[in-house]
Structure 1
Amino acid sequence: MKYINKLLLLLVLGAFAACTYEFPEPQIDEPTSGSADLTKIVSVGNSLTAGFMDGALYNRAQQNSFAVILAEQARAVGGGDFNVPNINSVNGFFQMGPQGPLGRLVLTVNPQTGATGPAPIGAGDLPSDFTGNKAALNNFGVPGITLLTALIPQTGGPASPANPAYNRLYERFASNPGTSTIIGDAAAALANGGTFFTFWLGNNDVLGYATGGASNPAILTSNSDFQQRLAAALGAMLAANPNAKGAVANIPSLAVLPYFTLVPWNALPLSQAQADQANQGYAAYNGGLAMARAGNLITAEEEQRRRIQFQAGQNGFVMEDEFLTDLSALGLPSIRQSKSTDRATLPLSAALGQPVGGNPALIRGISFPVEDQFVLTPEEQLEIRDKITAFNGFINAAVQANSDRLVLVDVNNLLDRVFQGQVSSGGVGLTASIIPPNGGFSLDGVHPNARAHAFVANLFIDQINQKWGANIPRANPNEYIGNDLPR
């Protein structure tokens, strides 16, 4: 019976083969923009949109931002040129050195210790004026801007001690420095034939506060100000072209950034002799805590939390903590040793264990407490987490209020999944680290590298495709470079 069935099958197939009718080739979905129009994309944002990486804005980084990658993929569905305000610098500017500007960060090996870490590459360039056609720009990403500084003309200059909003990286390509605004320039570009926009602002309304160890509350945007400024900025983009659609990204959790995870809480190595010497210096302090406990000024739990005791091996460092009970009347400072629940910031890696002010008796983290700007306590982490949740709520509400024209791009969720090891391409993972080849963050520990930007671009593409029935091809993240190997 099986033989008969096989024979019948062969006869049927032969009959079909003898016919002149040809079956159509399987149809592969053609690229399409669906009900979106990506002919001219305008992107407005901060360092993430600009392509800031490795502590600098430089050529390779600028040309590998998510905005540039998205625009490149959009060419398949009719997208046009995407012009950026070229920085024209191979190394960019990280900081001033003794001999002049120093460029971007690279991984280097310390010849004395053998340790590998980020350091400036060498000579860099101060940002120069943009000499191209300002009226033809598509990318209005400016590193360091908040929602407020995206909206005010002072951001474009002039530079003065009385103008903290001044931003050289905007002045260099502002349509009218000192008069124009970033949002105004982006909205004008959208009005001038723009068909689609990306909007990613708000990160710096909390990031600067966090990277400074939550030590300067004045720079943390209030919820009411954030909501009002978001409405003004996003509203200006929507009003610029009533037919243009847009993709709006939210704010990722800062807990996933290597800037807050690279320096361990117990990063202080001591020998037994060093530990014994340090403990002698804190004998009076620990005795004072016992007296405060006996006087019911602090609980036994807080006394234990504040006691300072070093040992041979890895130790928590001595740090300031404003959330401790004020015992200054007893001459006791608000200090303790770091715990596993604390988050040290990346700059502490260069300062910990070093003399303060050149005084060998004042060693940061041992005899000199680590200052507030270097550490996030659990209370500060909670404050920052709540602030991001609130800001993302405002962003989501604004998108939902204009759901016919806007789509939310949940970068917060993407980076959470990266942190959990759940993101990959072609079997190659993306990690929340700076370690090549899989590390997704550039060497400043805050900004994604080029490969991670490709994942972000794909998230934008996925949301646009889903929202408006488009079929924009996704980028291949493995074609984009991660961090360079150590030099």
Structure 2
Amino acid sequence: MIKNIKWLFLVSVTFIACNDNEIITYDSSDGLPLTAGTADFSKYVAIGDSYAAGFSDGALFIEGQKGSYPNILAQQFALVGGGDFTNPFMADNTGGFIGGNPAFGPRLAIFGFNPNGTPKIQPALGTSTTNPTTILTGPFNNMGIPGAKSFHLLFPGYGSAAGNPYFARFASTPATTVVADALSQSPTFFSLWIGGNDVLGYALSGGDGTDPITPTATFNGAYNSILSQLSAGGRKGVIGNIPYVDALPHFRAVPYNPVPLDAATVAQLNSLAAYGAYNAGITKAFAFLVANNLMSQANADAEIAKRTITFRPGPGNAVVIMDEYLTDLTGINPALVSMRQATAEDLIVLPASSFIGTTVGGNPQFVNGVSVPLGDKWVLSKEEVLETRVAVDAYNAIIQAAATANDLAFVNLKTLMNDLATKGITANNYTLNASFVTGGAFSLDGFHPTPRGYALFANKFIEAINGKYGSNLKGVNLGNYRILFPKDAADF
């Protein structure tokens, strides 16, 4: 009796019989044996913000952190000589800190659906058990710090409770910097994706001035200082550019015209006792400006059209918003505040979805977004969107130049995010897009990815690394990474 002897090989090797010849195909990007190329992944350190940390569903929690793009990258690096990769994990899957913290709240989850079909999103069940004063024993390879802007990575004292409570949990000393702690580990390879918060904070606050855009000169100095230290001695790494914030579902999920009205309410709103008086007032005020040669007739007509507020019966009425970019008419008439109805070029921030239609003091005559204009924090106006884009373009020119000057791998994450927002991306039989909740790429906070979204980002990093350093990592299957949303931590 003849016995068939079968050898056991690593899972990365498969055999295909063809015309009596055995063709060996490796689980790599090119079908050849896996290689790191000219890169050395033995000590990988990731530097960045909440995206690097694995923030998802509005929180940091264990399963989300496991799905961070650096953690996914490290698992792939391990196939070609990469060493251990440690993360400063939270204590649970609820997320947030004991005692509460506005920037580190519990994870969001879906608790059924509202009558109109929208999901009921609220904090997950469970109790936060992560104590921000409990110092973890480091160092940690994942140096992603939620909330960090470019210059924060160089700020001595950012590891103190007064600096960043997340970094304070594992900083080597309260006075250290993020970059210093990263370099103290003598990394052989690094990833750097930073700068999103330099503009995102402004956008999330509706451009109300509480979180200004980082000046280009400040970003330039910080970014090049960070990179000169990380790439010193020819150290290899990969860096990514910054997407436009308006590609994120946080700014696309709430329509500018979500208000349904009946005929009686419309008549009341359009009457001379309400917006009819405002419309007549702005017409009179601009006539005064034109008559006194303070404005051209064309400009006056354009702004009158922009500011005229009218409603109609049925769905699809645009919300009323405050807009500081309008001509200030209060010197002519104090009642003529700078308000108008939103257009498709204005972006309503996601939290406004639960604010529009509420009443002021329970008075049904004062409805937010209808009879009471939305404040600046609820809206990113057309002009504010442009401000964020101008800043991102300037930052990205700096990042691209730095990648070239330091001979580093470069990931065009701006293009990736734009593709998600406009047409979606299909990989491993999954199509991801930037639709809120249903798109698969972004979590319930509308601007942090799901683990599946992070896996897509990780694969783009791997493509850039392969292209620059001659490695041939295949990347991960998106189907192996979940989207999350369970309402109870026990469901993980």
Q: Structure 2 length normalisation: TM-score? A: 0.86
* Larger fraction in helix: 1
> Greater shift after overlay, 50-59 or 142-151?
142-151
Show the counterpart of 1:9.
Answer: none
CA contact (8 A) 1:104 1:124 kept: no
**Which amino acid counterpart does residue 411 of structure 2 have in structure 1?**
V
Q: SS of the residue aligned with 1:287?
A: helix
Q: Aligned residue for 1:202? A: 195
**Per-residue CA shift, 1:428-472, capped at 9, x if unaligned?**
211112334x42101000011100111111111111111111112
Aligned to 2:443: 442
Kindly tell me: are residues 124 and 114 of structure 1, through their superposed partners in 2, closer, same or farther at Cα, counting changes over 3 Å?
farther
- In structure 1, C-alpha distance between the alignment counterparts of 2:205 and 2:211, rounded to whole Å: 12
1:25 alignment counterpart: 23
User: For residues 117-165 of structure 1, what are the alpha-carbon distances to aligned partners after superposition, in whole Å with 9 as ceiling and x for unaligned?
Assistant: 4221134426425554313x11000100101221112322243xxxxxx
Say whether residues 1:187 and 2:183 are aligned partners.
Answer: yes
Structure 2 residue corresponding to 1:354, chosen from 333, 351, 358: 358
User: CA offsets per residue over residues 340-366 of structure 1, 9 Å max, x none?
Assistant: 111111111111111235554432112
Deviates most, 456-465 or 229-238: 229-238
The match for 2:394 is: 390
More displaced, 451-460 or 299-308? 299-308
Deviation at 1:292, TM superposition (A): 2.1
1:427 CA drift (Å): 2.8
Residue in structure 2 matching 1:119, options 114, 119, 122: 122
In structure 2, do the counterparts of structure 1 residues 394 and 327 end up closer, same or farther at CA, with 3 Å as the change threshold? same
SS of 2:46 mapped into structure 1: strand
Select the structure of larger CA radius of gyration.
1
> Corresponding residue for 1:273?
264
Contact preservation (8 Å) 1:184, 1:236: no
Which residue number corresponds to residue 242 of structure 2? 251
Q: Match for 1:411 among 409, 413, 436?
A: 413
Change beyond 3 A, Cα 1:124–1:251: farther
Whether contact under 8 Å (2:37, 2:469) holds in the other structure is yes
Contact 2:206 2:380 in 1 (8 A): yes
Contact 2:231–2:406, Cα closer than 8 Å, also in 1: no
Q: 2:206 aligns to what?
A: 213
1:176 correspondence with 2:173: yes
Q: 2:164 — aligned with what?
A: 167
Q: Give the 3 Å change call, closer, same or farther, for CA 216–79 of structure 1 in structure 2.
A: same
2:316 maps to 1:303: no
2:109 corresponds in structure 1 to: 106
1:228 aligns with 2:221: yes
Deviations 1:314-373 (A, max 9, x none): 211111011111111222111001111111111111111112355544321122110111
Report deviation, 1:268.
1.6
Contact 1:55 1:443 in 2 (8 A): yes
Which range moved further: 443-452 or 415-424? 415-424
Q: Is the 8 A contact 2:205 2:211 kept in 1?
A: no
Give CA deviations for 1:239-292 in whole Å, capped at 9, x if unaligned: 3xx253100011111121000000000012222222222223112111102212
Give the drift of 1:113: 6.0
Partner of 1:455: 456
| SS of match in other structure, 2:350 | coil
The answer to whether structure 1 residue 49 and structure 2 residue 52 are counterparts is: yes
Secondary structure at the aligned position of 2:158 is classed as helix
Aligned residue for 1:62, secondary structure, equals helix
Give matches, 1:89-104, under 5 Å.
Answer: 89-93=92-96, 103-104=106-107
**Aligned to 1:81, what secondary structure does the other structure show?**
coil
| Matched letter for residue 140 of structure 1 | M
1:119 aligned counterpart, secondary structure: strand
What is the letter of the counterpart of residue 23 of structure 2? E
Q: Distance in 1 between matches of 2:151 and 2:322?
A: 31
Are 1:237 and 2:230 an aligned pair? yes
2:109 alignment partner, SS class: strand
Alpha-carbon distance between aligned partners in 2 of 1:30 and 1:463, rounded to the nearest angstrom:
19
Q: How does 1:424-439 map to 2 (within 5 A)?
A: 424-436=426-438, 438-439=439-440
312 and 485 in structure 1: CA distance in 2 versus 1, 3 angstrom threshold: farther
Q: 1:317 touches 1:365 (CA, 8 Å); kept in 2?
A: yes
- Cα drift, residue 395 of structure 1: 0.5
1:179-202 alpha-carbon deviations (Å, 9 max, x no partner) = 11111111112x2xx211101111
Aligned to 2:282: 289
Residues paired across the two proteins, number: 449
Task: Report the equivalent of 2:482.
Answer: 481
Give the AA of the match of 1:219: P
Q: Is the 8 A contact 1:102 1:124 kept in 2?
A: no
Shift of 1:85: 0.5
The 1:157/1:412 distance shift into structure 2, 3 A limit, reads same
1:116–1:486 contact (8 Å) kept in structure 2: no
Contact 1:157–1:167 (Cα < 8 Å) also in 2: yes
Is the Cα contact below 8 Å between 2:59 and 2:106 reproduced in 1? yes
> Are 2:378 and 1:381 aligned?
no
**Structure 1, unaligned runs of 5 or more:** 1-21, 160-165
Paired with 2:64 and 2:25, the residues of 1 have a C-alpha distance of 38
TM-score (norm 1): 0.87
1:36 lines up with 2:39 in the alignment: yes
